[in-house]
Amino acid sequence: MASQNGIGAAVKRKEDARFITGMGRYTDDLGAHGQTYAMFARSPHARAKIVNIDTAAAAATDGVVAVFTGADLKADGIGDLPCGWLVKSKDGSDMIQPPHPPIAVDAVNYVGEPFALVIGETLAAAKNGAEALSVDFEELPAVVDLASAARTAQIHETVPNNQCYDWELGDKAATDAAFEKAHHVTRMDIVNNRLIPNAIEPRAALGEYDAAAGSHTLHTTSQNPHLERLVLAAFVNVAPEAKLRVISPDVGGGFGSKIFVYAEETAVIWAAGKTRRPVKWTAERSESFLADAHGRDHVTHAELALAEDGEFLGLRVQTIANMGAYLSTFASSVPTYLYGTLMAGQYKTPAIYVEVQSLFTNTAPVDAYRGAGRPEATFVVERLVETAAREIGMDATDLRRRNFIQPTDFPYETPVALTYDTGDYEASLDKALAHVHYAAFAQRRDASEAAGKKRGIGFSCYIEACGLAPSQVAISLGAGVGLFEVGEVRVDVTGSVTVVTGSHSHGQSHETTFAQIISEKLGVPFENVTVLHGDTGRSDYALGTYGSRSLAVGGSAIVKATDKIIAKGKKIAAYMLDANADDVEFEDGSFNVTDSNQSLTFAEVAFAAYVPAKYPLDELEPGLSEKAFYDPPNFTYPAGAHVCEVEVDPETGVVEVVQFVAVDDFGNIVNPMVVEGQVHGGLAQGIGQALLEHGVYDDTGQLLSGSYMDYTMPRADDLPSFTVDTTTTPCTHNPLGVKGCGEAGAIGSTAAVINAVTDALGVASIAMPATPETVWRTARGE
């Protein structure tokens, strides 16, 4: 049904009414009767033994309700924070996972690691209490530099050489053989800079304990409340799963950083049970900088072997990935299964070999941040390809075309374990080049030159793998969780619809796009559809939101549930109309008997299901509510072409992004307005990585970029308006034909920017972020 609010329509968002009027309900907006406040005491040292914590003065501070140390949690049976993906090293051994107590017990291993929490009647009392803690630390030399981290002090007793694992993917012998035949080899050393996610809503938690029911309720800023509940129940032992409800209300952005199970909400929900009082914690931004999981942070050497005509023969990648001080919830999977597997990019490179060594350092844990592994992979591949083109004197777009996987090649099996189902890479590149007016670039460059500026253009043809799946494959590779999603479609008595999804929306617009799907499929007016999410008390166990999966996986589950609704509705309608169920069709919101004028509206059938006057009760249960779990048979493979044009002022080193074009293939699109918005945001983060953002520790492990004074967030005047367009090859294996769009902007854009900056400056490489100082120095050959 081509409804004005159905699939493909740029419907205005349902969410907006509350957000633009200040009526959103975020975790910190909530309160509970008798609520107390938690303040975490955090290590000022990057690495130290905790010799003694004297809590007496803190406990005696006015208004302090309780003081807890890591030892208190441990004594109460609270377990370590686990990592959910077991990666194996080359030699078959398991990765080494050091103990990660939520609150440090014997040692602290990064600045900002909590070692105590103080609960106060007021936040001020909790802060005063934390101030009164007396702690003896025995400082130890910190391991900060990633490249040398395997050769310095050992951080964890159980982790020799600070190595978590040494992983490989691909055929080493075949790749080495390919390099033997190479006419040209492009070699690069690449640093992927550490980023700090910085969702504008800081993390927060409100823990409550209902003594009468013996149950805990945790409101928190989570992208996946079910995962939070599973970990807190099954691994951390806060409460049995059935006695713990986790609710993520409105959440102010996540970008990956709110997937993970953190120390703070663990301690808060536990403390609520101990003190029998509601406990609330909201991070100050300074705490977010220190203790949110950071992103990226790789050091890589990569080589691309080419034949004389530019054909890619082989790719070799060696990466050291920073895990930080402990393994965050999915840290191990990011530089491996979300990174090494993407090294084929859009190309028919026949032999690829990737080695990844993951190391611990005395820095904040590193985990998924928008794109998670795929931006790092794209950066390696697309910097190499662009550099190779420059080295062999070939146009960078021609070299890509020479090597693209062609539409006729699908399904295409890469040498790094993925099977791409569909795509048309050249179509996206063609469209992007038309938007950017590539043919006229030389004239624009000359005009800049005449004005004393340097203009450059850079490309990035990325691929990503979204909707991580299928469960059985992922589990066989070490995933500790299934990767399906649940969707429930509850038809109300009057024919309106309530959808309950296990996905969570923290900006992605599920309340709108999922309602569009229902409106399209069931013919129910858009305004009569309500989407509920973010509550373990409402939906079945599911995996939540990450990896651009909500629509491809969560949306597919909803479609499956609507199919069940329609099937049941046909049976009900057939009975009511004395027809054969096979003769009933559902179209435009009505059940029609073929070759007749007999028809029932969706609402009439719904009403009959709940008021079963004429109803086949001996054959059918009453009610019209269906649920479906959907486990995808494969990843989806969004891909696209990003082109960046910059103008550099050699006098100041300032880089102006004068044009940014993104043409993406997300398969079918439910709401183009929402999709464009997702791309815009991703581009800003990718451009931010290239030009502005950098998480910096000094050599003693102090975080120097620990506030918005020092960590450069992209602001409105740092960015251009973007040109965003799409091409479409529908995903072949999910019912909506959709691929996912949440991360693409951040995955493709960074390489395009750096390719443009290096083009402008005429240099082989430049460090990220390419700040004015870095650009100025690089331009001077420093």
Site residues (CB under 8 A) for other proteins, limited to 498-537? 506-509
Q: Does 22 bind other proteins (CB under 8 A)?
A: yes
Q: What angle do CA 272, 273, 277 make, to 5 degrees?
A: 45
Cβ–Cβ under 8 Å, residues 729 and 551: no
Which letter does DSSP use for residue 555 in this model? I
Closer Cβ to other proteins, 118 or 356, answer by number = 118
Q: Which of 78, 132, 542, 557 lies at the binding interface for other proteins (CB under 8 A)?
A: 132
At residue 164, the 3 state secondary structure works out as strand
Question: How many of the chain's residues bind other proteins (CB under 8 A)?
Answer: 77
Q: Does 44 bind other proteins (CB under 8 A)?
A: yes
Taking the least distance from each CB to other proteins, the nearer of 572 and 692 is 692
- 683 binds other proteins, rule: CB under 8 A: yes
Non-local CB neighbours of 780 within 8 Å, separated by 6+ positions: none
In the bound complex, what is the minimum distance in angstroms from residue 740's beta carbon to other proteins? Answer: 16
Should residue 685 be labelled a site residue for other proteins when binding is judged by CB under 8 A?
yes
| Preceding amide of 672 cis, omega within 30 | no
Considering the complex, state which of residue 306 and residue 674 has its C-beta at the smaller distance from other proteins: 674
In whole angstroms, how large is the CA radius of gyration of the chain?
A: 27
Is 60 one of the binding residues for other proteins (CB under 8 A)?
A: no
d(CA 480, CA 373): 19
Residue type, 120: G
C-alpha closest to that of 283 among 36, 505, 39, 63: 39
| Site for other proteins contains 681 (CB under 8 A) | yes
- Structure tokens, 74: 């441990």
Tell me the closest approach of the beta carbon of residue 250 to other proteins, in angstroms. 7
7, 9, 41, 342: which one contacts other proteins (CB under 8 A)? 41
Residue 120 makes contact with other proteins by CB under 8 A: no
**Cβ atoms of 334 and 367 closer than 8 Å:** yes
Does 36 interact with other proteins (rule: CB under 8 A)?
no
Q: Minimum distance between the CB of residue 130 and other proteins, rounded to whole angstroms?
A: 5
Contacting other proteins (CB under 8 A), which of 72, 228, 250, 424?
250
Distance CA 382, CA 703 (A): 30
CA distance 739 to 742: 10
Phi and psi at 380, nearest 5°, equal: -65, -50
CB 464 within 8 A of CB 496: no
Task: Supply the minimum distance, in Å, between the C-beta of residue 367 and other proteins.
Answer: 17
Closest separation between CB of residue 90 and other proteins, Å? 38
Closest Cα partner for 70 from 61, 62, 80? 80
Residue 772 binding other proteins, by CB under 8 A: no
- The gap between the terminal CA atoms of the chain, to the nearest Å, is 62
Secondary structure element (H or E) that encloses residue 303, with its range: strand 295-306
Q: Which residues contact 450 (CB under 8 A, 6 or more apart)?
A: none
Does 13 sit near other proteins (CB under 8 A)? yes
CB 117 within 8 A of CB 131: no
Check residue 346 for interaction with other proteins (CB under 8 A): no
Site for other proteins in 720-749 (CB under 8 A): 721-722, 745
Segment 251 to 290, residues that bind other proteins, using CB under 8 A: 251-253, 255, 282, 284-286, 289-290
Choose which of 49, 88, 538, 680 interacts with other proteins (CB under 8 A). Answer: 680
CB of 552 to other proteins, least distance (A): 19
**Is position 588 an interface residue for other proteins (rule: CB under 8 A)?**
no
Q: Looking at 66-74, 89-97, 421-429, 677-685, which segment touches other proteins (CB under 8 A)? A: 677-685
Q: Tell me if 17 contacts other proteins by CB under 8 A.
A: yes
Least distance to other proteins, CB of residue 674, Å:
7
Least Cβ distance, residue 48 to other proteins (angstroms): 10
Between vectors from CA 429 to CA 426 and to CA 433, what angle results, nearest 5°? 140
Q: Which two tokens stand for residue 136?
A: 């003896």
Q: Is 647 among the residues that bind other proteins (CB under 8 A)? A: no
Binding mask 171-200 toward other proteins (x if CB under 8 A, else -) reads ---------------------------xxx
Which residues touch 310 (CB under 8 Å, ≥6 apart)? Answer: 388, 389, 392, 394, 398, 399, 402, 403
The residues pairing with 167 across neighbouring beta strands, listed in sequence order, are 356
* Angle at the Cα of 266 from the Cα atoms of 48 and 488, rounded to 5 degrees: 145
Q: How far is the CB of 724 from other proteins (least distance, A)?
A: 8
Question: 3-state class of 619 per DSSP?
Answer: coil
Toward other proteins, which CB reaches closer, 257 or 536? 257
Select the span of 339-347, 381-389, 414-422, 671-679 touching other proteins (CB under 8 A). 671-679
Where does residue 314 rank: exposed (0-12), middle (13-18), buried (19+ CB within 10 A)? buried
Between 237 and 286, CB nearer to other proteins: 286
Non-local (6+) Cβ contacts of 498 within 8 A are: 489, 490, 492, 529, 530, 531, 532
644 part of the interface to other proteins, by CB under 8 A? no
Strands 244-247 and 184-195: unpaired
Closest to other proteins by CB, 138 vs 180, is 138
Minimum distance from residue 256 beta carbon to other proteins (Å): 12
What is the smallest separation between the CB atom of 777 and other proteins, expressed in angstroms?
A: 21
Our CB check for other proteins shows the closer of 349 and 749 to be: 749
User: Does residue 219 bind other proteins (CB under 8 A)?
Assistant: no
* Token code pair at residue 377: 């992979």
45 binds other proteins (CB under 8 A): yes
Among 147, 708, 763, 773, binds other proteins (CB under 8 A): 708
Smallest distance, Å, CB 707 to other proteins? Answer: 5
Examine residue 358 and tell whether it contacts other proteins (CB under 8 A): no
Task: Select 60 or 763, whichever has its Cβ closest to other proteins.
Answer: 60
Q: Using an 8 Å Cβ cutoff, are 396 and 322 in contact? A: no
